[in-house]
Amino acid sequence: MSAAPMLTTTAHVALKEPELMLRKLISVFAEYSTVVGSAPSCRLETRAGSVALTAGADALAIRIDASSQHALFALRAALAERLLSLSQDDRPSLLWAGAGAAEREIPSFKAVSVARARNITPSMRRITLACDDISHFERDGMHVSVLIPPSGRMPVWPRVGEDGRVIWPVGGDELARRTYSIRRIDREASELDIDVVLHGDSPGATWARTARAGDPIGLIGPSGGELPAADWYLLAGDETALPAIARIAEELPAKARATILLEVPNLEECQMISTRAHLDVHWLPRNGAPAGTTSLLETAIRSLAWPKCGAPYVLVGCEKRSAREIRAFLRRDRGMVKDRHLVVGYWQRF
pLDDT computed for residue 87 by the predictor: 86
Q: What is the C-alpha to C-alpha distance for residues 91 and 13, in angstroms, rounded to an integer?
A: 10
CB 51, CB 79: distance < 8 Å: yes
pLDDT computed for residue 91 by the predictor: 74
pLDDT computed for residue 227 by the predictor: 87
> Which residues does residue 196 pair with via DSSP β-bridges, in sequence order?
125
Q: What is the C-alpha to C-alpha distance for residues 146 and 206, in angstroms, rounded to an integer?
A: 13
What b/e string do you get for 188-212 counting C-beta neighbours within 10 Å, with b at 16 or more?
eebbbbbbbbbbeeeebbbbbeebe
pLDDT computed for residue 338 by the predictor: 85
Q: Which helix (H) or strand (E) holds 186?
A: strand 176-186
pLDDT computed for residue 152 by the predictor: 86
CB 98, CB 5: distance < 8 Å: no
CB 15, CB 84: distance < 8 Å: no
User: How many CB atoms are located within 10 Å of the residue 184 CB?
Assistant: 15
> Considering Cα of 349, then 301, then 280, then 248, what sign does the dihedral take?
positive
Q: Which helix (H) or strand (E) holds 148?
A: strand 143-148
Q: Are strands 159-160 and 59-66 parallel, antiparallel or unpaired?
A: unpaired
Q: Please tell me whether the overall predicted TM-score, pTM, comes out greater than 0.95 for this model.
A: no
pLDDT computed for residue 4 by the predictor: 62
List, in sequence order, the alpha helices (H) in the chain: 18-29, 69-86, 203-210, 242-251, 296-303, 320-332
Q: Flag residues of the chain having pLDDT under 70.
A: 1-4, 89-90
CB 323, CB 344: distance < 8 Å: yes
Cis peptide before 18 (omega within 30 of 0): no
Kindly give, in sequence order, each residue whose CB lies less than 8 Å from that of residue 56, ignoring residues fewer than 6 positions away: 18, 40
Q: What is the C-alpha to C-alpha distance for residues 149 and 129, in angstroms, rounded to an integer?
A: 15
pLDDT computed for residue 90 by the predictor: 67
